[in-house]
Chain A
Amino acid sequence: MEAIRATFFQECEELLADLETGLLAMEEGQGDSETVNAVFRAVHSVKGGAGAFGLDGLVRFAHVFETTLDGVRNGELEVEASLVALMLRCADRLSDHVSAAKVGESLDPDGDQDLIKQLEAFCVAEEAGEAGELDLPIAFAVVPLSIGDAPEAFTPLVASTEAGPAEWRIEFKPHATLYANANDASVLLRELARLGELRVELNADALPGLDTLDVFGAYLSWTLWLTTEKAEADIRDVFEFVDGDCDLTIRGPGANDTVDIAVTSTPDIGDGDRDLIPASAGPLEGEMSLQDLLAMARGASSDTAEAEAAAESVIATEPRVLKEPSPQVSESANAPSAKSAGKATDVAQPTIRVDLDRVDRLIDLVGELVINQAMLAQQVHEAGLARSGNIALGLDDLEQLTREIQDSVMAIRAQPVKSVFQRMPRLVREVASMTGKSVRLVTEGEGTEVDKTVIERLSEPLTHMIRNAVDHGLESPEARVAAGKPAEGVIRLAALHRSGRIVIEVSDDGKGIDRARVRSIAIERGLIEPDAVLTEEEVDNLIFAPGFSTASAVSDISGRGVGMDVVKRSIQALGGRISITSIPGKGSTFTLSLPLTLAVLDGMVVSVGDHTLVVPITVIVETLQPKPVDVRSLGPHATVLAVRGSHVPLIDVGSAMGFRPDPASGSGVTILVESELGGLAALRVDSIQGQRQVVIKSLEQNYDQVPGIAAATILGDGRVALIVDVDGVIALRRQTATRPTLLDKAS
C-alpha cells in the first residue's frame, strides 16, 4: 500500500506540473482543445487517485475544479483571463492539498470554499450570460414584438457589473494564522483603498486586557465600505493570499444580506439559498430548462447576483422566448465534448521509474571503472608494452567506452530545469500581487538538463532572486509608465549550456541597480571606506557582500533575513558562480554558472609536502609565483602577500592543515582564491600538479566532516586525495595555534 501511495504522489507531482503548464499555455492564449483536455485529465487523475486513498477533502475540491474544467472542455465556458487566473489559483490550492496529503494531513476545507464558490460562480455566470446572449437574436426572429423589451431587460446587467461606482460592505476578521503567515491586515486595507474610496471602521470589542492578551492572537476586525467601480473579483483578489486565514464577508451593492459569500461558511450554503428563490420565479413552473438554469444559478449560491437577476429579468420579460433556445445551448455544449474525447491521445515517450539510490550506485561504480581504467592504462604503460600493440589498442577502446558509459550514466541523473522553473510563475503571481506590480515571467531553455541535485538545490536561491527581481528590480506600474516603459514588467528566466556548465540568467527590465544608494549603504554598513574608488562592477557586486542586506532593508517579500550573500553562498556551495550586470534604467541581469553535475568537479591538483590536495577551480582567481619581497610578515605569525598594490592574507596550506609545524620557507606557488565571504586570500602550496576533473567522494559517509576539507576524491593512482574547502582553511588558519598537528601525533 505504501508503495502504491508513493507512486500516487509521484504521479501527482507530474500531473500537477502538467496542469500548471497547460494552464499557463491557456493563459498565453494557446489553449487548444488538446491543452484543455490535458489539464482536465490531470485534475481528473489526481481526483481519481485521491479517491482511492480516501483523501476526501482533496477529492471534493478537485471535483469542483474538474466540473469547471469540464465546462471549459465542452465549450460551455469561455477561456478568459480571469477564469485562467482563477484556475491557476485552484491549481496552487490543489497542489497544496496534495502536499498536505503526502505528509498525512489534510487542509482545512474552509480554505477551499472561496475558490469553489468562484469556480461555481463562473459556471453559473457563464450559463446565465450565454442564455441571455443567445436569446436575443432568436427573440428577435421569433417574436418580433420582444425587440423593444429584450435589450432593455438585458442592459441593466451590463450596467450593474461594469458601470458606475457601487458601495461594497466588507467584513474582515483576520485569524491569528493570517499574521503567522506574515501577512498584514494594514497592507490589505491599503490595497483595498487603491480600488476606490474606502471607509474603515475598526471593531476592537474582542480586544482583551493587557494581562490576558496573547501577543500572537488576532483580536481586531474591520468593517469596510468600499465605493468602487471594480468588480467583486477584484476585491476578492486583494484577499487572495489570506484565503482561509480570515473571516471575510463581501456584500455587493444590490444584493441583500442573504447572498453572503463568507469564506468560512459551510458548503451547504447553497441549500439555504434555495429557499430564498424570489416569488417571481413562481410563474415559470413547467418550463424545465429554465428551471434547471435557475436552480443551478441559485444552488451554486452565486456571488454574481446581477447575473442571476439578469437571467430572471430576461425570463420575466419574455418567458416563452427562452423555451426554445435553452435546449440549443445544452446541445451545442455537448457536441464538442463528444468530439474532443475521441482525440484525447497523448504522445509521450515511455519512461520507467528507478530508485535514485540505484542510479547513484551505478554512477559510483562507473566512477570506479573510470579510475580503474586509468590505473590499468598507467600500469600497461609502465610495463613498457608497445604502444601500437593490441593491448594498447584494446585499452584505447576501453577508455572510449568508459567515457561513453560515464556520460550516459550522468545523463540518467540529468533532468530538465523545467521542474524548478515551473514553480516560478506561481511565485511571480504571488509577489506581483503583494507588491501591486504587473509582471510577466518569460522562461527560456526549460529543457536544459542538469543534475537532479543541482536542480533541487537551485530552487531556493532562484526563488530568492526572482522575489528580489519583482520586489526590488521592477518599478511600480506608475513609475514604469512615467519612465516611458510598458506598465507590465518582464522577468526573464533563461537556462542554457555553455562550455560544460549550465548558465541560468535572471533578468528584469526594471530600474537597474541604484549605484549611489548601494554605495551609501555599503559605507553605512562599513563594508567599504567612504573614499574607496570602485568600478561600477565592483559597486554592483557589493550587493553580494555579507551584511549588505540587514534588518532595516527588510521588506515583506524579499526580506526574510537573507540577503544576496546567502544566495551567493548557496550557489558557491553548488560549485557555481554568480555575477550581475546592470544598466541604470534598463534593468539588471544575474548570471549563475553551475556545474552540470555534483558528482564531478574541476579541480587543481596541488602538492603540499607528501600530500596531494585538490582545490576547486571555481574558487581560484589566479595562480602566481610571488617574489620573496612580496611576502610580508604582519605580527608574530601572520604573513600577507602583496598582489598588485593590495595585501591579502597568505595562508600556508601545509601548516593550516597540520601537515607541518611551521610554514614552509623558500619558493612555492600561491593560489589566489576568493572566499565565500567575498575576500581574497592566497594559499601557499609547494607545487601544482595539474588540472583535472575529479569524482567527488563523500568523507562524511564513513567518517565525519573535517574542517578545511570539503570532500575526497580518488586520483588516477587509486589513492584518495582530499578536496580543499577554501573557507574552511581560512577559518582553520585562525585557530591553528590551538589545534594538534599531524606532527604532534607522530612524536
Chain B
Amino acid sequence: MSLSPSVDPRELIAFHLGGQEFCVDIRSVLEIRGWAPATAIPQSPSYVKGVINLRGTVLPIVDLGARLGLGPSEPSARHVIIVARISNKTVGLLVEAVSDILTVSDDRIQPTPDVACDTVRSFVKGVIAQDTGMISLIALDGILPETVAEAA
C-alpha cells in the first residue's frame, strides 16, 4: 500500500439507476441483497420505501433513484439493495442493478461539473471518466432524511 493517500486506489461499486451509472465507496457497503417487499412507514419522505427485516435489524430502504431526483423506481425482482453504513446507521439503497467493481485512484476522480442542480451538487462528489461513459461518485451522507420533522 502506498503511504500517500492521494494516489491510494479506491474500490468503488458501480450500479445503474435511471439510465445513468453511479458508484459508491466499497468501504461503506456491507452487503448486497435482492429486493424484498418493504413495510411502508407513515409520515416518511417519498424516497423512503419503507423498512425490511435484515436478519433482525429493521433496515430502512431508500429509493436512490427518487432521492437523486430521477423518479421513483418500481421495484422488481431484478432490483437489488445495497446495504450501506452511513455515519452510524445502516441503510438499504434500492438500485436497478450492480454493474461492476472499479479500482480507481483519487486523481482519476474529477470534480463535479458545475451544473445548476441542487440534488447533483449535494450528492455527487465527483465524476469518473470511463471508456463506456461517465460514472458519478455518490456521497452517502445526507441520503437519509435529517429529521422526521423535515420529512413531514
Contacts and interface: CB of A to CB of B under 8 A. Distances in A.
Given A611-B40, A704-B147, A745 B53 contact: no
Nearest to A712: B58
A703 B72 CA distance: 20
B90 A745 contact: no
B52 interface: yes
Contacts of B38: 720
Nearest to B92: A702
A659 B42 CA distance: 7
Contacts of B56: 364-365, 367-368, 371, 697, 714
B73 interface: no
Nearest to B151: A704
B82 to A, nearest CB: 14
A708 B42 contact: yes
B39 A706 contact: no
B60 interface: yes
Nearest to A656: B42
A703 B144 contact: yes
A701 B57 contact: yes
A732 B52 CA distance: 24
B43 interface: yes
Given A698-B58, A714-B53, A714-B56, A739 B89 contact: no
B50 to A, nearest CB: 8
Given A697-B58, A698-B58, A704 B144 contact: yes
B141 to A, nearest CB: 15
B39 A740 contact: no
Interface in A715-729: 718-722
A702 B145 contact: no
B43 A699 contact: no
A720 B152 contact: no
Contact of A706 (B37, B42, B59, B72): B42
A720 B58 contact: yes
Interface in A348-371: 364-365, 367-368, 371
A611 B57 contact: no
Contact of A659 (B40, B46, B152): B40
Contact of B89 (A702, A705, A706): A702
A742 B57 contact: no
A706 B58 contact: no
Contacts of A712: 39, 51, 58
A658 interface: yes
A594 interface: no
Given A706-B42, A708-B43, A720-B52, A740 B152 contact: yes
B100 to A, nearest CB: 27
B51 A709 contact: no
Nearest to B145: A704
Nearest to B55: A368
A368 B54 CA distance: 10
B59 A702 contact: yes
B44 interface: yes
A707 interface: yes
A732 B42 CA distance: 11
B43 A702 contact: no
Interface string B114-131: 000000000000000000
Contacts of A702: 57-60, 89-91
A450 interface: no
Contacts of B89: 701-703
Contacts of A742: 40, 42
A657 interface: yes
A742 to B, nearest CB: 6
Contacts of B152: 707, 739-740
B48 to A, nearest CB: 8
B41 interface: yes
B39 A722 contact: yes
Contacts of A719: 37, 39, 52-53
Interface of A: 364-365, 367-368, 371, 611-612, 657-659, 697-699, 701-709, 712, 714, 718-722, 732, 739-740, 742, 745
Smallest CB-CB A-B distances: 6 pairs: A657-B42, A745-B46, A368-B56, A703-B60, A720-B39, A712-B58
8 contacts: A657-B42, A701-B89, A704-B144, A704-B148, A706-B42, A719-B37, A720-B39, A745-B46
Given A703-B58, A704-B145, A722-B41, 20 more contacts: A659-B42, A698-B58, A699-B41, A699-B51, A701-B57, A702-B58, A703-B48, A703-B51, A703-B60, A704-B151, A706-B41, A707-B152, A712-B58, A714-B53, A719-B37, A720-B38, A720-B52, A720-B58, A722-B42, A740-B152
